[in-house]
Structure 1
Amino acid sequence: MAGARIGIIGGGPAGLMAAEAAAGQGAEVVVFEAMPTLGRKLLMAGKSGLNITHSEAEPAFTGRYGAASARLSTALAEFGGPALRVWCEGLGIKTFVGSSGRVFPEVMKASPLLRGWLARLAGQGVSLRTRHRWVGFDGNAVVFETSDGRQVERFDALVLALGGASWPRLGSDGRWTGILADSGVPLTPFRPANCAFERAWSSIFIERFAGQPIKPVVATSAIGSVPGEFVISRWGVEGSLVYAHAAALRDAIARDGAATLTLDLVPGRDVERLARDLSRQPAKASFANRLRKGAGLDAVKAGLLREVAPEAASLPPEALANLIKAVPLVLASTRPMEEAISVAGGVDLAGIDENFMLRQMPGVFVAGEMLDWEAPTGGYLLTACFATGRAAGLAAARYIRA
């Protein structure tokens, strides 16, 4: 492949993995990043412990990608969780499986991994150019805006890994959609995924409970029932349990104008036992004490029950037990997309071939969050970015050889 040139636009996990894969095939590779530094979103993900992948076995792992599972299955089979852990080891980063099945580097942070990775890419001869914002095409050439003005580059193949539209301050601002739309590439509108939701709380509830966790709890939506915990915020709810239901709640809001997350506040007891325990409480006891002693509800759970169902205090034990086991938390809207952990939408999967090449643009490949797929938190997001980046980089090299 002497003299063959592959351009990678986007310096996040998908773009850097595409660069590594293509350079490994002997191509000359140049990575362009609009921001001053590379891997900003990866570093942000590692601030609280880099959840790089998940130990869940197949086929459950691939099933986490929902409607996109079949389309991503080959890339994930070739570079899924086990392969990603081996790759980390090759960079000198040992990983471990947490109690939830999530996989983390032993050092927990992303910065050591990124430093080792960039050093490996430099050793492969990959050129890394920051402060280069892609603004479109000029015939067969690629055009960038830089601090020195307009720059035009030509490549034998191109990999686009520009991210979605969440956390735009880190570089994923979705501006590329206009360029691809003008080229006839089919796109699906971006939608927040793994996001928080809004609900209007009373001022008293916000003052007492904003920032406090609700745990343990089982939450039910169209996807089924999931145990876990979430956090009361000033504007609604957030946290891992909410993110697990985010796609179903988001779609229900789009369809119906609101969505209901049903909460079991006492997952360890059935309705009959809970009703008996509540009926044993003295009639003169305060409602808060009846909930604490009869149902084991702490202050924040009791406050949530009162907030969502003001009539709860007047209910007989059996009706109150049924309510505690199925509290209807109505949510009005998602939080803004730029706050979401990830997004759905982007390049329609029907617009790419089996090698992640755009059908309308031969020689142009796409990877990462640009593609219309979504997955829950837990390492699945990063794994798909790595896997599709690798697949696109290898395909770009094969395209040139062919």
Structure 2
Amino acid sequence: MAAEVAARAGCTVEIFDHMPSPARKFLMAGKSGLNITAEGLGPDVYACPPLRPMIGAFGAPEVREWMAGLGQSSFVGSTGRVFPVAMKASPLLRAWLARLDGAGVRLHRRVRWTGWNGTTLTFASEPDATFDATVLAMGGASWRRLGSDGAWAAALAGHVAAFAPSNVGFRVDWSDHMTRHFGAAVKNTGLIVNGRTYRGEFTVSARGLEGGGLYPLTPLLRGGAALALDLKPDMDLARIRDRLARRGRDSLSNHLRKALRLDPVQIALLREWGGAPDDLAPCIKRLPVPLLGPRPLDEAISTAGGLRWDAVDEGLMLKHRPGTFAAGEMLDWEAPTGGYLLTACLATGAWAGRHAADYARR
């Protein structure tokens, strides 16, 4: 996006990508339909004030207009999420690369940037080069096999906040009886963090808990907040106790299924972490989850940390290196899944590209 905006402004642009093919993480996002933005997405969605003017300048309407300009119409799903009609990233990427090529943008593949020699950019497999302006857009530190390995942080030491996993699953040490529930979705369950109940679906896996309902809570849980589950969020404690008291000859599992309509995976979780069977109601309303921390950084959908905001100016130019700008996930921000990640990457790319072009022209 930075290259497109700079080329449109009349600059001669070159892209250096250390992977054999570009936009691998973009293509991976497209495997699940390419949820590229969200209708009604406003700047306040991001808990990062510096991002707000950028999202305001390039939010959901601008993303959809940009897609349409590349021949890819989009639609709004039932939850407000926006997808291309094609439901994949490859047609959009092909059209995008063709447009960049038509604008004279030159793409160098298998070229790793290693830092600077004075004001000159140094590369591992290509001659050093000097440009009027540079945009760094090298991603966070998750999904290394797709290119975002975080190795760039060494060249910006002293200006980088430590990476941390975001939108990631959390580890749980399961008992053997949970094995048959691996892969099961947990629905109609509240997630309680810091006294607030959140609603969303998540999944039991061999490694712990994961899924869209859990991912937005990553910053809180990563910071040490405890997690509990409300297995009947639409029923109060007194009503649960009343229904549990009417047990006949049914087994406990059958009674929980019939009286409260708990499904097998909810009953298994209650068995895993619940208290005394003679008073399960409090556990049903607040079932403590003994999390063992987030999954490793490379398994995270995205990362927190990266280039600190106090290291860049309002145009995303590095304060200690005039003429060098930064964009995308390498900046220190995080957002939940649902189109927010890609939108912010596109928005910061457009912002950095515009300011880099202005700088180069000056």
Q: TM-score, normalised by structure 1?
A: 0.88
Q: Does 1:52 align with 2:18?
A: no
Aligned partner letter, 2:214: V
| C-alpha displacement of 1:223 | 8.4
1:65-100: CA deviation from partner (whole Å, max 9, x where unpaired): 21x1x2011111110111101110111111111111
State the alpha-carbon separation in 1 of the partners of residues 79 and 197 from structure 2.
Answer: 17
**In the alignment, is the contact (CA less than 8 A) between 1:64 and 1:376 conserved in 2?**
no
State the alpha-carbon separation in 1 of the partners of residues 299 and 254 from structure 2.
Answer: 38
Against the structure 1 CA distance between its residues 223 and 165, is the aligned structure 2 distance closer, same or farther, given a 3 Å change threshold?
farther
**In the alignment, is the contact (CA less than 8 A) between 1:305 and 1:312 conserved in 2?**
no
**In the alignment, is the contact (CA less than 8 A) between 1:306 and 1:312 conserved in 2?**
no
**In the alignment, is the contact (CA less than 8 A) between 2:38 and 2:81 conserved in 1?**
yes
Over the aligned positions, Cα root-mean-square deviation in angstroms equals 1.2
Q: Does 1:43 align with 2:27?
A: yes
Count of residue pairs brought into register by the alignment: 362
Which residues of structure 1 form unaligned runs of 5+? 1-16, 253-258
**In the alignment, is the contact (CA less than 8 A) between 1:53 and 1:104 conserved in 2?**
yes
1:217 to 185, 189, 206: 189
| C-alpha displacement of 1:220 | 1.8
| C-alpha displacement of 1:397 | 0.8
Q: Does 1:322 align with 2:290?
A: no
Which residues of structure 2 form unaligned runs of 5+? none
Aligned partner letter, 2:299: E
| C-alpha displacement of 1:62 | 2.0
Counterpart in the other structure of 1:64: 45
2:263 to 271, 288, 298: 298
State the alpha-carbon separation in 2 of the partners of residues 372 and 56 from structure 1.
Answer: 24
Aligned partner letter, 1:234: A
1:212-262: CA deviation from partner (whole Å, max 9, x where unpaired): 11112111213832211110011210000110211110111xxxxxx4212
Matches for 1:61-140 after TM superposition, within 5 Å: 61-66=42-47, 68=48, 70-140=49-119
Counterpart in the other structure of 1:243: 215
State the alpha-carbon separation in 1 of the partners of residues 152 and 195 from structure 2.
Answer: 32
1:310-357: CA deviation from partner (whole Å, max 9, x where unpaired): x34232xxxx22221211112111100000000000000011000000
1:108-160: CA deviation from partner (whole Å, max 9, x where unpaired): 100000001001101111001110000111121111122xxx42111000000
State the alpha-carbon separation in 1 of the partners of residues 276 and 317 from structure 2.
Answer: 57
Q: What fraction of aligned residue pairs are identical, expressed as a percent? A: 49
| C-alpha displacement of 1:269 | 1.9
Counterpart in the other structure of 2:164: 191
